[in-house]
Structure 1
Amino acid sequence: MDRRQVIRHFLVVGAGLAFMSSCVYKDGKVSIQLQSIQINPDQESFLKQLADAIIPPTDTPGAAELGSHLFALKMVDDCFEKQEQDKFMAGLKKLQGKEPNPATLMSAAEQEKDEDALAFMKAFRRLIIQGYTQSEYVMTNLLPYQLVPGKYYGCVPVDSTTSKS
């Protein structure tokens, strides 16, 4: 083996080792990369529980199982303006520690009359429903697509379709 080939092998192995740590999932990390907003793993698990409270699993998967909470986070990160993102995060922080049961969270937010908490709950519920109804599972298994609704008759004579005046 010559020196160039040995150096090339060392570089390839070194690059592989450097990128290997980013491929390993750790419990202390969030499962989605966001640009504008920052969440921690506790907030992500809270949002997952809240998504399951909004659309719970029955004989079909729930919102958390389909990843609707991740869809909601991505939509807030990509599509909301900075002011709306700040309001969303403020509402999340206010509600996260207060209520242990996510199912009663909406009524608790309404009772406090907290504007940030209500804005968070309304936006999150809307995004969870949107993410769930537009998921691959719902669109393929629950709402099958029909190319043409009704029946198509392609062999009808032209004379019978026009009205006589």
Structure 2
Amino acid sequence: MNRREALKSTSMILGVALSGSTVAALMQSCGQSTSLKWTPQVLEKKQAQTLSAIVDRILPKTDTPGAVEVGVDEFIDKMLSHVFPDEVKKGFMHGLDSFNQNAKDKFGEDFIKSSPDQQDQLIREYEEKSEPLPGSMWGFSFGDPSSFPFYRMMKELALLGYFHSEKIGKEVLAYDPIPGPYQGCIPYGDVGKNWTE
């Protein structure tokens, strides 16, 4: 899985449209650290550490910043805190716990203590077996946490947070704070690189 594939699959999270300003406001206070140096608002500390490790494997630091470096893990926790109802928070937390338990069952230790190859293996398994999200998350039965689409929700939130972060918007994607006229039909070669919103 690479960033181009991740970008292609980014569209809407769970049928809930969020404006760029909403995402920017939530991202503004996210720290840029490689360890858990923020206080989770919804997740327990161990869950937040697991989440950080997952997003770090999905969007690792390469020639561009990694997910943890731009605060994606903290962004997801803030989204859970400020945007989603309690049923979604519970489903997400249950999904994180199940993900970590699967790592323990397969490798004998927590996901954060597993080797990078083992972490990638587990993420690939979740990627292969998880269904794309439906048009709306409200079609899920919240009575059964095991049916909650944790992996897809987590991945879409990670991608949303990553590509809406200030650092990625200004340093990786083309950014024009005062755009000129709309030009709908130009050769792709003239674009140069992907544009931030």
Question: 2:88 aligned with 1:84, yes or no?
Answer: yes
Q: What secondary structure is seen at the aligned counterpart in 2 of 1:97?
A: helix
Q: After TM superposition, where is structure 1 displaced by more than 6 Å over at least 4 residues in a row?
A: 112-115
| Residues 27-53 of structure 1 deviation map (CA, whole Å, 9 limit, x = unaligned) | xx872241xx3412x222211110111
**Structure 1 alignment gaps of length 5 or more:** 1-28, 152-165
Q: How many Å separate the matches in 2 of 1:111 and 1:132?
A: 24
State TM-score, norm by structure 2: 0.52
What residue in structure 2 maps to residue 59 of structure 1? 63
Question: 2:39 aligned with 1:32, yes or no?
Answer: yes
Higher mean C-alpha deviation, range 53-62 or range 137-146: 137-146
Question: 2:180 aligned with 1:148, yes or no?
Answer: yes
What residue in structure 2 maps to residue 135 of structure 1? 165
Larger helix proportion of the pair: 1
Question: 2:126 aligned with 1:104, yes or no?
Answer: no
Q: How many Å separate the matches in 1 of 2:37 and 2:62?
A: 26
Match for 1:123: what amino acid? M
Match for 1:69: what amino acid? D
Q: Which has the higher contact order (CA 8 A, sep 6+)?
A: 2
| Residues 47-102 of structure 1 deviation map (CA, whole Å, 9 limit, x = unaligned) | 11101111111101110111101101110111111111111111111111322433
Match for 1:122: what amino acid? R
Q: How many Å separate the matches in 1 of 2:159 and 2:43?
A: 23
Match for 1:138: what amino acid? I
Structure ID, larger Rg: 1
Match for 1:105: what amino acid? L
Match of 1:44 among 42, 48, 54: 48
State TM-score, norm by structure 1: 0.61
**Structure 2 alignment gaps of length 5 or more:** 1-35, 104-110, 112-117, 132-143, 184-197
